[in-house]
């Protein structure tokens, strides 16, 4: 006796594969960083999210994630002084750990603003970087709670 669900599963798989393929093709042709965005990153705990273009330049994000790892160490205050930041709330929030998830990105002509959600502390970490001859360099870090 044949399973009557097999053709329906096969057709569902074909439709899903076609949707995934067309989404990939559209993403490669798009120069947009965020394919879809909802909400605003200014409100910690608010509903802000974006579907990022998987083919974007991720170098600014790599630099920001390296900074996040360094802010979680005992050198946090020293690092903040290098950025001329007097917001020392950042150190206890970052030391607490938890996930830091990229929820927003805005690219200007010379700067990149990345917003990371820190759900454990109901905060948002804003990292601004700019491009120079060696790549991207972080120029400012701030926290919104």
Provide the 8-state DSSP code for 109: S
> Tens digits of per-residue pLDDT, 11-35?
888 888 777 666 555 555 556 788 8
| Residue 22: predicted pLDDT | 61
Q: Which residue has the higher pLDDT, 56 or 88?
A: 56
For residue 73, give Cα distances in angstroms to 70, 81, 87, 124.
5, 14, 16, 19
Average pLDDT value for residue range 77-96? 89
**What whole-number distance in Å separates Cα of residue 93 and Cα of residue 118?**
9
| Residue 71: predicted pLDDT | 95
> Tens digits of per-residue pLDDT, 97-109?
789 999 999 998 8
Provide the 8-state DSSP code for 117: E
pLDDT above 90 covers a percentage of the chain that reads: 41
pLDDT higher than threshold 90 for residue 126: yes
> Tens digits of per-residue pLDDT, 113-123?
999 999 888 89
Provide the 8-state DSSP code for 74: T
pLDDT higher than threshold 90 for residue 142: yes
| Residue 31: predicted pLDDT | 67
pLDDT higher than threshold 80 for residue 80: yes
Q: Which residue has the higher pLDDT, 65 or 135?
A: 65
* DSSP class per residue in 53-65: -TTS--HHHHHHH
């Amino acid at each position: 006796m044949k399973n009557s669900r097999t053709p329906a599963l096969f057709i569902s798989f074909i439709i899903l594969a076609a949707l995934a393929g067309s989404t990939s093709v559209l993403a490669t042709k798009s120069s947009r960083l965020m394919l879809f965005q909802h909400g605003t990153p200014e409100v910690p705990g608010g509903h802000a999210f974006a579907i990022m273009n998987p083919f974007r330049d991720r170098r600014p994000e790599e630099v920001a994630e390296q900074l996040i790892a360094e802010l979680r160490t005992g050198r946090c205050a020293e690092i903040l002084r290098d950025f001329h930041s007097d917001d020392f709330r950042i150190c206890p929030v970052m030391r607490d750990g938890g996930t830091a998830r990229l929820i927003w990105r805005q690219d200007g002509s010379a700067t990149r603003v990345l917003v990371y959600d820190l759900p454990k502390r109901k905060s948002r970490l804003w990292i601004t970087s700019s491009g120079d001859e060696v790549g991207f360099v972080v120029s400012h870090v701030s926290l919104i709670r």
